[in-house]
């Protein structure tokens, strides 16, 4: 079974600085998707960024980028120029690309990010 | 606008009672999912359904039941057999293709009183 691990329960960053959130996963599959979701105090889940395992290029969305290391099974999220609105719980998630796996997301435990003004 | 509606936002249950959480989507998504969120444990899958009239257990299905009689609806019943039901429950849906992205509802907070 696949697992996702986020080893940093809490992180803190100064406004305008850069922070990296760590995520590792375990799978025997070669084709899958990885995600970072943001959950602000409203508890609405917001997709931050997505990476297809077959793509070697790291995904980027504005101030958010990932460092995808497939061999090491690592998927970290870098937030540049941190803003107060980035404060939230961040979840790393895995999804198999195999149809009969149901498309279910497997989540890590989450990292609570605080941004200091 | 298309989306997922979960209701109610807050729900209180007395011990020994069954309660049903509603999840409705108008996105024409094939697959629907129920997750439970507890502090420090992330989101854990309760049940999921890829097509109408079919559903599968997730990692923590004990004490829960679901139905999928319509494509738009995937209600979750928390039965009296669920020993620790107090949690935040999230519903999600997804297009049938493997590349389909998720859409999440706004959640239901269930508290046992």
| pLDDT tens digits, A73-83 | 999 999 999 99
CB contacts, 8 Å: A107 with chain B: 35, 42-44
- Say yes or no to pLDDT of A46 above 80: yes
Q: What pLDDT was estimated at residue B100? A: 66
Q: Which CA distances in Å does B3 have to A19, A87, B58? A: 32, 25, 23
- Is the pLDDT reported for residue B16 higher than 80? yes
pLDDT at A88 over 90: yes
| A98 or B23, which is more confident | B23
Are A92 and A4 in contact by the 8 Å Cβ rule? The answer is yes
B42/A50 touch (CB, cutoff 8 Å), yes or no: no
Closest by Cβ to A102, choosing from B50, B100, B107: B50
Contacts of B35 in chain A (CB under 8 A): 105, 107
Whether pLDDT at B1 is above 70: no
Distance from the first to the final alpha carbon of chain B: 36
| pLDDT for B97 | 65
Indicate the burial class of A41 (C-beta count within 10 angstroms; 0-12, 13-18, 19 or more). exposed
Residue B61 has pLDDT above 70, yes or no: yes
Contacts of A108 in chain B (CB under 8 A): 42
pLDDT of residue B57: 97
Q: How do A74-79 and A64-69 pair as beta strands?
A: antiparallel
Average pLDDT over residues A4-33: 96
Average pLDDT over residues B2-13: 92
pLDDT reported for residue A100: 77
Residues composing chain A: 117
Whether the per-residue pLDDT at B83 is higher than 90: the answer is no
Q: What is the mean pLDDT of residues B70-86?
A: 94
Q: What is the pLDDT of residue A52?
A: 92
Q: Is the pLDDT of residue B98 over 70?
A: no
- Among candidates A57, A52, A37, which has minimal Cα distance to A106? A37
Q: Say whether pLDDT at A96 is over 70.
A: yes
Across the strands, what pairs with A65?
A60, A78
β strands within B1-107, DSSP E? 4-7, 10-13, 19-25, 31-37, 43-51, 54-57, 64-66, 76-78, 87-94, 102-104
Return d(Cα B85, Cα B111) in angstroms, integer: 7
Q: Do A108 and B42 touch (CB under 8 A)?
A: yes
Could you tell me if residue A13 is left (phi over 0), alpha (psi between -120 and 50 degrees) or otherwise beta?
beta
């Amino acid at each position: 079974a696949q697992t996702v691990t986020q080893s940093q329960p809490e992180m803190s960053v100064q406004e305008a600085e850069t922070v990296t959130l760590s995520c590792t996963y375990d799978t025997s599959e070669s084709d899958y998707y990885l995600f970072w979701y943001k959950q602000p105090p409203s508890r609405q889940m917001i997709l931050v960024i997505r990476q297809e395992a077959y793509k070697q290029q790291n995904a980027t969305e504005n101030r958010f980028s990932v460092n995808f290391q497939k061999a090491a099974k690592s998927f970290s999220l870098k937030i540049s120029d941190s803003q107060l609105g980035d404060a939230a719980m961040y979840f790393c998630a895995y999804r198999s690309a195999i149809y009969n796996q149901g498309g279910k997301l497997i989540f890590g435990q989450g990292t609570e990010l605080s941004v200091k003004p | 606008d298309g989306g997922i509606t979960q209701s109610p936002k807050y729900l209180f249950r007395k011990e020994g009672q069954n309660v049903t959480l509603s999840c409705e989507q108008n996105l024409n998504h094939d697959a629907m999912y129920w997750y439970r969120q507890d502090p420090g444990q992330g989101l854990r899958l309760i049940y999921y359904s890829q097509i109408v009239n079919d559903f599968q257990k997730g990692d923590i299905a004990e004490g829960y039941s679901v139905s999928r009689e319509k494509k738009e609806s995937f209600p979750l019943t928390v039965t009296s057999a669920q020993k620790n039901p107090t949690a935040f429950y999230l519903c999600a849906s997804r297009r049938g293709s493997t590349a389909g992205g998720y859409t999440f509802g706004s959640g239901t907070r269930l508290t046992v009183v």
